[in-house]
A and B are shown apart, each in its own frame.
Chain A
Amino acid sequence: MPSLAETQRGFAAAVFASDPGSIRPWIRANGLSPERRLGLYRNNTFLGLSEALRDGFPVVHRLVGTEFFDALARSFVAEHPPRSGCPLDYGAEFPASIAGSELAASLPYLPDVARLEWAWHEAFHAAEAPAFGIAELAAMPPEGHTQLSLRLRPSVRLLASPWPVLRIFHVNQPEYSGDPSIDLDRETGCRVLVLREGAEVLLHSLSVGEFACLERLSGEGSLETAFEAAIRAEPGFDLPASLVRLMGLQVFSHPARSA
């Protein structure tokens, strides 16, 4: 008689490796073969997870259609079964899996569309944190500004892409009614700020300097090093103007005490 561990090992092999060999003798046929019974569980797992990915990546789904999407999803599920029992966690590696997939090789922008959708998903579910804005900054002594350790709010994500993924995302929303065509040879890449405002996730386009500045801040840099990075990326970067804009967008959380 198999132990509980052997039972579960055999069951998992039947579902994820299509290898029912070890568990088969321990399943009662009772009018239906053990293989068919295990096949039902295998289907439940693969269909359920494919559906979860469709829900999490609606633009990728819309761009490639259900049949193509399900093929991408099936190979992803087989290679990357969920590592937690919380469905919200599932799909983080899907963009990288698309990037490595032969199937999607002719759609080089697709992985970045998926990255943008995952950033959207993370922003949607992220923890709340009060914003640090102009008023809070004004209340601080000016000599401390350059040493300020501004941090991004938990619902903020950044993404840079050589493809116009922000436009691709917008024209593939169900409510979009304009011309959905995009000329990939003419349109350039983009830098996207993803953040939740209230209950809604919003996407904003960032300048090269703004992106470099925020990227440095997200890596725990000080405002001074963030400014240096921005200037290197975009000579003539206007820090005060950008800070006013980003603070207006409620990008920052309350800063940690500077060291």
Chain B
Amino acid sequence: MAVVLPAPCLQRAQGTIPASAGIGLRAEHYHEVAETRPAVGWFEAHSENYFGGGGTPLRVLESLRADYPVSLHGVGMSLGSVDPLDERHLTRLKDLIMRIEPGLVSEHLSWGSYNGCFHNDLLPLPYTEEALDHFVVRLTWVQEFLGQRLLIENPSSYLEFAHSTLPEWEFLAEATRRSGAGILLDLNNLYVSCRNHGWDTHEYLRGLAGGPIEELHLAGHTHRPMEHGDLLIDTHDGPVCREVWALYVEALTAFGPKPTLIEWDARLPPLAELLVEARTADRHLEARSHALAG
């Protein structure tokens, strides 16, 4: 079905991402979102899906940008790789940033390519001093190249390296402190990784106390039975579970109200169902704001 959009509009909504719930912009919802302009605080778009330079994806994103703040979330920069940074990728992102004027731009604490081959995945780093130095140099360079501060998101992972010497939260806190970047704390990833590796979720949150947490992600995951109990897989294909909602409340108490994204990427529900999840997040955010005001 063709997406009918109003003519491009130079007037734009202000760009700052509010401390309210946002939802991910997905191709399956382009038509409905363009038609209904749902009552949601902001949208997050996967940057790489808009690297084409034209056509429906960019038209939809630009048209939404007229009415909403937009955050750009990248999955393909491969910040932690030893490969050279891909300048074409960074140039495409820079062009997109100039075009969309996003409120936030984020990437991951991970790597994705070796020797020019990309895994299409967010792979875990060994949490060593060497990897930390490398990550900080790259992140600093990228922020300068883009003229844009980044938020860095904690990944979900299914293995730990025996040679890691730092806990993930310390690595994340230190990498962002040294580079001046912010933190996008994904509470589903935090939960998944803590469960998979036997880390303590409270210790993880305490480890980031005072850190520049500027956005939160909430998503669903899947339990995969293994010989020694379930492994949790970060599938983004269902509603946010009870345990992750509880972590969310804990995070709001620790860090205050923050922009919160409902991430749902696979087996997408009708838009209405996503909006119900967003309203639940909004209720938690309001409760926290009232508690702070009171």
Contact = CB atoms under 8 A, between A and B. Distances in A.
Contacts of A200: 2
A96 interface: no
A4 B158 contact: no
A196 B54 CA distance: 10
Contacts of A36: 226
A255 interface: no
Nearest to A48: B120
Interface in B173-222: 197-198
A194 to B, nearest CB: 13
A83 interface: yes
Interface residues of A, number: 51
A9 B163 contact: no
Interface string A103-133: 0000000000000000000011111100000
Contacts of B5: 199
A4 B54 contact: no
Interface string A11-48: 11001100000000111101110101110110011001
A5 interface: yes
A125 B77 contact: no
B3 interface: yes
Contact of B115 (A7, A12, A26, A125): A12
A97 to B, nearest CB: 16
B52 interface: yes
A31 B159 contact: no
Interface residues of B, number: 56
Contacts of A45: 119-121
B116 to A, nearest CB: 6
A38 B157 CA distance: 11
Residue with the greatest number of chain A CB neighbours at <10 A, chosen from B92, B119, B131 = B119
Interface in B67-87: 75-78, 80-82, 86
A83 B114 contact: no
Residue with the greatest number of chain A CB neighbours at <10 A, chosen from B80, B118, B160, B227 = B118
Contacts of B80: 4
A259 interface: no
A26 B54 contact: no
B247 interface: no
A125 B88 CA distance: 17
Contacts of B86: 84-85
Given A4-B126, A84-B76, A85-B112, A27 B54 contact: no
A45 B51 CA distance: 21
B2 A198 contact: yes
Contacts of B233: 40
Contacts of B55: 123-126, 128, 155, 196, 199
Contact of A84 (B54, B81, B118): B118
B243 interface: no
A112 B243 CA distance: 50
Interface of A: 1-5, 7-9, 11-12, 15-16, 25-28, 30-32, 34, 36-38, 40-41, 44-45, 48-49, 52, 81-88, 90, 123-128, 154-155, 196, 198-200
The 3 closest A-B pairs by CB, nearest first: A85-B76, A125-B52, A127-B53
Interface of B: 2-3, 5, 48-49, 51-57, 59, 75-78, 80-82, 86, 88-89, 92, 111-121, 123, 125-126, 128, 130-131, 134, 158-163, 197-198, 226-229, 231, 233
Given A82-B120, A125-B52, A199-B2, 16 more contacts: A1-B163, A4-B125, A4-B128, A7-B126, A7-B163, A28-B162, A40-B231, A41-B123, A48-B121, A86-B89, A88-B48, A88-B49, A125-B51, A125-B53, A128-B55, A200-B2
